[in-house]
Amino acid sequence: AKLAAVGDSGFARVYEAATGKELASFKGHGGIVFCAAFSPDGATLVTGGDDGVVRVWDAATGRLRAELKGHTDSVRAAEFAPAGRLLFTASADKTVRAWAPPMR
């Protein structure tokens, strides 16, 4: 299993849960990264930060697939629907958005 850690460095880092070994590091947000979520299959990682942008990453390669813009304040939460096709994000702008991000 993998876990993602985020914080005020602008990075999201992915670790192997059993060993604590860092597997990948993702840099795209200019400031605080508030949230991260894996797709149900683990192939996609999304991050949300104080820039109001949701970034969609290939979890294995670190390639940025997309930037989802629509929130007007920091993105504080992200979660995939169980089927994995829809992503929901919540922002300090008091909105929740549904997205169909690129998964490959």
pLDDT at position 60: 87
Rounded Cα gap, residues 87 and 91, in angstroms: 13
- pLDDT tens digits, the chain, 104 residues: what are they? 899 999 998 899 999 999 999 999 989 888 999 999 999 999 999 999 999 999 999 998 889 999 999 999 999 999 999 998 999 999 999 999 999 998 77
pLDDT at position 39: 96
Neighbours of 45 (CB within 10 A): 24
Rounded Cα gap, residues 52 and 68, in angstroms: 9
pLDDT at position 19: 97
Hey, what's the torsion of the CAs at 46, 102, 23, 15, to 10 degrees? 30
In 3D space, the residue among 57, 50, 51, 69 whose CA is nearest the CA of residue 4 turns out to be 57
